[in-house]
Every structure is written in structure tokens, then in C-alpha cells.
């Protein structure tokens, strides 16, 4: 009809249009319900899709105010799944053999170090200051540390009080004295170095350098001076019983660790801190 409206006179056209208008409205009214129905169907479909998406296992739900504690408790109760490898010390046993070997090596080094200062079985000693020495009343040739000299004087007096002829024949020796006793007598007697070292120390290695060592004799038996026979004299027997009371000990007893020949006449004073450290600090 639209194609012919322009050919109809205006008055007639308006009439026709007025007459046709209700028909067009009615036609429009019939379409609207279908459109609404289509929207409704689409809405239901969309609602269904939304419900399916929110109810699936991967849905992310924001917890409400009352769900935080429960969620934290659940997370805390969940077992730790991270595997931790065992520590190396738990699976590797200690190497006891290596520890034992290290200890043995250390002991050997210490022993070697202690022996490194020795010479032919004798230990080194510093030479005492001769200006600080005292001579014995019975023999001005014998010089000792003042404390030692006083002890020796007391010992000789008390020994004589019981009929024992105890006396001292040697005390402090200088390096020159020891030079003669070791090298000169060694050459004079044709002794080997080792043989001489068994009866005399090299210079710098004699206890007599310290002013703490004394060689005792028995005046009643001069033939026993400075030899093993001295052990059979009353003087030696008195020393065995009483020397320790005055701070003295035998330097070279039988089978001593320094392998020095047994010297029953040679005694050393260890009655103060200085002498004790001097004779024992470097000992093996």
C-alpha cells in the first residue's frame, strides 16, 4: 500500500491513513508479546548458564565475615606436602678412622716437638747468672742458687748429726766447664759421642747450668765419688730417706727415660716454682 499512497488525493490519503492506523497498531501489538517472550527465554537461558558456572567445582567464592577463621583452621590442618631431603649428617656415618688417624698424627707431632730440643738425651737449660749464686761453707768451689745452698747446708749438718759424712763436690757449671767435661774428656778417653753423652751432657744441656743441681759424696768413702758405687754408702741411703723433705730428687735413676747412665750422686732441687717448671716443662 505504501507504493500507492502518493497517487491518492490528499484528503483521501488522510482518510485511508486514518483507517489503516488501527490495523498497524494491532499488528504492532501482536509483535510485542513475542519480543517479550524472546527476552524472557534469553533471560532464563542466561540465568541457567550463570547458575551452572557458579555451582561448579572451580567456582571462586568470596568468604563472608564468618568464614575466615574456618578457612585458616582448614589450611593449618592441611599436612605439609613439601618433601625435605635428609641432612647429610643423618645418612653419612662419622669417619672414626680419620678422627683416630688425626689424633695419632697430632700426638706424634707433639712428641716430636718435645724431643726436638733434646740433644743425645739431654734437655737444654739456660745458664744461671753467676752473680746470683752462693758458695757452700764446706767447699767454696761449689756455687748454687741461694735457696738451694741453704737447703744443702742444712742437709749436710743434719746428716752429720747422725754420723753420716754427707758433702757436695759439684754445683753450678759454666759453659766452659761443660765444654771441658764433654769434649775434652771425650777426646782424652777416646769415647764415642753417644758413650760420652751417657755420662756427661753437652754444653748448654746440663742441669748444672741452672744452679739447682748438686753432686753429693760420702767423705768417709772417697773411692765412691761420682760412680755407681755411691749407692752403697751411708750418704746415699740418707739421701734416699730424707732428700725429698728438702725439695730434692734423683735426676737420673735407673732406667730413666732420657737413657742417661744411672747417677746416684746427682740430685736436683725442685722445691720452688722456677725449678719445677725448669725441669718438667720441657719433659716428654
- Which residues does the annotation mark as catalytic? 263
Q: Centre a 10 Å sphere on the Cβ of residue 102 and count the other Cβ atoms it contains.
A: 11
Alpha carbon distance 148, 272 (integer Å):
10
- Per DSSP, helices labelled H in 55-145 are 68-77, 88-91, 96-115
Backbone angles phi, psi at 170, to 5 degrees: -150, 140
- What are the two backbone dihedrals, phi and then psi, of residue 20, each rounded to the nearest 5 degrees? -80, -20
**163 — alpha (psi -120 to 50), left (phi > 0) or beta?**
left
> Could you give the C-alpha distances from 71 to 62, 66, 81, in angstroms and in order?
11, 10, 18
| E strand map for the chain | 134-135, 143-144, 166-170, 213-218, 248-250, 266-269
Amino acid at each position: 500500500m505504501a507504493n500507492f499512497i502518493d497517487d491518492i488525493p490528499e484528503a483521501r490519503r488522510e482518510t485511508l491513513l486514518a483507517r489503516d492506523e488501527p490495523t498497524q497498531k494491532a499488528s504492532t501489538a501482536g509483535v510485542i508479546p513475542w519480543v517479550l517472550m524472546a527476552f524472557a527465554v534469553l533471560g532464563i537461558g542466561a540465568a541457567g548458564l550463570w547458575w551452572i558456572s557458579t555451582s561448579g567445582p572451580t567456582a571462586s567464592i568470596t568468604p563472608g565475615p564468618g568464614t575466615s577463621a574456618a578457612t585458616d583452621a582448614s589450611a593449618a590442618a592441611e599436612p605439609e606436602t613439601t618433601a625435605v631431603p635428609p641432612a647429610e649428617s643423618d645418612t653419612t656415618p662419622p669417619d672414626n678412622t680419620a678422627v683416630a688417624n688425626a689424633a695419632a698424627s697430632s700426638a706424634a707431632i707433639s712428641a716430636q716437638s718435645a724431643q726436638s730440643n733434646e740433644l743425645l738425651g739431654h734437655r737444654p737449660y739456660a745458664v744461671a747468672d753467676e752473680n746470683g749464686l752462693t758458695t757452700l761453707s764446706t767447699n767454696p768451689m761449689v756455687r748454687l742458687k741461694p735457696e738451694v745452698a741453704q737447703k744443702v747446708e742444712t742437709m749436710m749438718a743434719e746428716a752429720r748429726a747422725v754420723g753420716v759424712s754427707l758433702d757436695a763436690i759439684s754445683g753450678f757449671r759454666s759453659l766452659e766447664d761443660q765444654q771441658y767435661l764433654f769434649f775434652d774428656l771425650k777426646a782424652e778417653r777416646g769415647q764415642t759421642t753417644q758413650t760420652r753423652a751417657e755420662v756427661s751432657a753437652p754444653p748448654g744441656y746440663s742441669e748444672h747450668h741452672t744452679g739447682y743441681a748438686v753432686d753429693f759424696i760420702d767423705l768417709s768413702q772417697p773411692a765412691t765419688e761420682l760412680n755407681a758405687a755411691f749407692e752403697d754408702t751411708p750418704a746415699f741411703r740418707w739421701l734416699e730417706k730424707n732428700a725429698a723433705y728438702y725439695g730434692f730428687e734423683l735426676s737420673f735413676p735407673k732406667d730413666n727415660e732420657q737413657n742417661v747412665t744411672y747417677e746416684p750422686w746427682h740430685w736436683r732441687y725442685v722445691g720452688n716454682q722456677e725449678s719445677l717448671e725448669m725441669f718438667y716443662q720441657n719433659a716428654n
